[in-house]
């Protein structure tokens, strides 16, 4: 039987103003310059060596701008290497907020802590050609040339970018489509799902297997599924117990996938027992069902990608070579770790 605390959670559904923000995508790009001395001799102060290849973080394209003799013609820029970051090929009205950092890499490809420049908080980038930000005095020529990080006249720097999503304030006039679970609720709903105690509805998946559920949880977390129960429910029997309605799941969604979907509804997570190798076949069913039943399919997609790969969706790592380096004919390597679901 349900405890008084459990019944209170069902009896008093909350309606409130919710402040939500999406996860902040983070990625990095490595720029390698073969022939540092040549770039230093070829480009004057204020002149930019060829840009790096475009790289993608948070759905936006970025470029690193390398100035061998500083980004300014006179003043503080002379005698220094400058590194700047800008957006690439964005709509004129686009404004993207981000934090970033430039790091000198040692011979093992690791950042040198004393030669890392981080932006001062969040910066607003736009498509304007002058909207570039970075380190005008990233490192002095003398310090760089004496540092031991220029073996073979090769310079490597890394740029880390974190795109900051705007906070959205949403006014909910009715029950939320999918409310946020606090830890107590998550544990309680997980227990109900695992034990099946007080289940009063069942879903029949493709293949005929039935999966028990609780209408009150569905009303709280998945109103469209609850509506489906009300619309199709009748005086039917399930496992010999009168009053437990059996609802046929539309389409060809199998029992394992529907159980995973219910696990997401009850706990806001995917089952720990789901193996990474199962995700590619199951994720399309899950996301399609989440869209259909008004669930947070974007979060479900991210959880699926995380379980399948274990890496951030937007992380990129690319090596490029400046134009001053000898041409090898190799294409720049790019990796956008996003699975084609949803």
pLDDT tens for the chain, residues 1 to 342? 545 444 444 443 444 444 444 567 889 999 999 999 999 999 998 888 876 778 888 888 899 999 999 988 765 556 899 999 998 876 666 789 999 999 999 999 999 988 999 998 899 998 776 688 999 999 999 999 999 999 889 999 999 999 987 655 444 444 344 555 667 777 888 888 888 888 888 888 888 888 989 988 888 888 888 888 777 654 333 333 334 568 888 777 889 999 999 999 999 899 988 888 888 888 888 998 888 888 888 888 888 888 876 533 333 333 333 333 333 333 333 234 445 555
Q: Which domains does the chain have, with CATH numbers?
A: 4-15+176-309 (3.30.710.10), 26-164+312-321 (2.60.210.10)
Return the axis-axis angle of helices 183-195 and 255-267, rounded to nearest 10°. 150
Other Cβ atoms within 10 Å of 285 Cβ, number: 19
Measure the CA dihedral 294/298/299/303, to 10°. 120
Helix, strand, coil share (%) of the chain residues, nearest 5: 30, 30, 40
Contact 252, 204 (CB under 8 A): no
For residue 207, give Cα distances in angstroms to 97, 249, 250, 258, 266.
Answer: 49, 11, 12, 12, 23
Contact 24, 163 (CB under 8 A): yes
d(CA 257, CA 260): 5
d(CA 161, CA 79): 26
Task: Give the DSSP letter of residue 58.
Answer: T
Helix (H) or strand (E) holding 242: strand 241-242
DSSP readout, 100-144? EEEEEE-TTS-EEEEEEEE-SS-EEEESSTT-EEEEEEEEEHHHH
DSSP readout, 170-223? EE-SSS-SSPPPPHHHHHHHHHHHHH-TT--EEEE-BTS-EEEE-HHHHHHH-H
Contacts of 129 (CB under 8 A, 6+ apart): none
Q: State residue 103's pLDDT score.
A: 94
Q: State residue 240's pLDDT score.
A: 36
What tokens appear for 244 in the block? 């437990």
DSSP readout, 3-45? -HHHHHHHHS----EEEE-----EEEEEEEEE-HHHHHHHS-T
Region for residue 58 given its phi and psi (left: phi exceeds 0; alpha: psi -120 to 50; beta: otherwise): left
d(CA 164, CA 96): 8
Q: State residue 159's pLDDT score.
A: 94
Each residue of 117-132: b (16+ CB within 10 Å) or e? Answer: bebeeebebbbeeebb
Q: State residue 12's pLDDT score.
A: 38
SS3 category, 321? strand
What tokens appear for 285 in the block? 């069913």
Q: State residue 170's pLDDT score.
A: 45
d(CA 79, CA 58): 34
d(CA 238, CA 244): 5
Residue 209 exposure: Cα atoms within 13 Å on the Cβ side? 10
């Amino acid at each position: 039987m349900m405890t008084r605390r459990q019944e209170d959670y069902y009896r008093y559904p909350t309606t409130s103003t919710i402040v939500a923000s999406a996860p902040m995508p983070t990625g990095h790009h490595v720029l390698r310059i073969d022939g540092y001395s040549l770039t230093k001799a070829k480009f004057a102060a204020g002149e930019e060596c060829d840009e790096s290849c475009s790289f993608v973080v948070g759905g936006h394209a970025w470029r690193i701008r390398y100035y061998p003799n500083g980004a300014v013609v006179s003043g503080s820029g002379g005698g220094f290497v400058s590194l700047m970051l800008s957006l690439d090929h964005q709509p004129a009205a686009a404004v993207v907020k981000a934090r970033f950092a430039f790091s000198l890499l040692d011979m093992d490809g690791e950042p040198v802590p004393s030669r890392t420049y981080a932006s001062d908080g969040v910066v607003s980038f736009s498509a304007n050609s002058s909207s570039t930000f970075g380190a005008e005095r990233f490192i002095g020529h003398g310090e760089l040339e004496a540092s031991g990080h220029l073996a073979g006249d090769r310079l490597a720097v890394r740029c880390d970018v974190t795109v900051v999503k705007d906070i959205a304030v949403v006014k909910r006039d009715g029950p939320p489509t999918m409310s946020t679970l606090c830890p107590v609720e998550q544990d309680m709903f997980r227990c109900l799902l695992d034990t099946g105690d007080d289940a009063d509805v069942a879903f029949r998946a493709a293949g005929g297997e039935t999966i028990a559920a609780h209408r009150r949880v569905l009303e709280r977390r998945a109103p469209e599924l609850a509506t489906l129960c009300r619309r199709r429910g009748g005086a039917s029997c399930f496992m010999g117990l009168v009053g437990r309605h059996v609802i046929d799941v539309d389409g060809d969604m199998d029992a394992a996938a529907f159980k995973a979907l219910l696990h997401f509804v009850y706990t806001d997570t995917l089952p720990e027992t789901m193996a990474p190798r199962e995700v590619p076949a199951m994720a399309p069913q899950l996301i399609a069902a989440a869209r259909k039943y008004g669930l947070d399919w974007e979060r479900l997609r991210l959880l699926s990608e995380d379980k399948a790969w274990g890496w951030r969706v937007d992380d990129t790592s690319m090596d490029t070579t400046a134009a001053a380096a000898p041409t090898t004919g190799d294409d720049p390597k790019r990796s956008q770790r996003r699975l084609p679901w949803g």
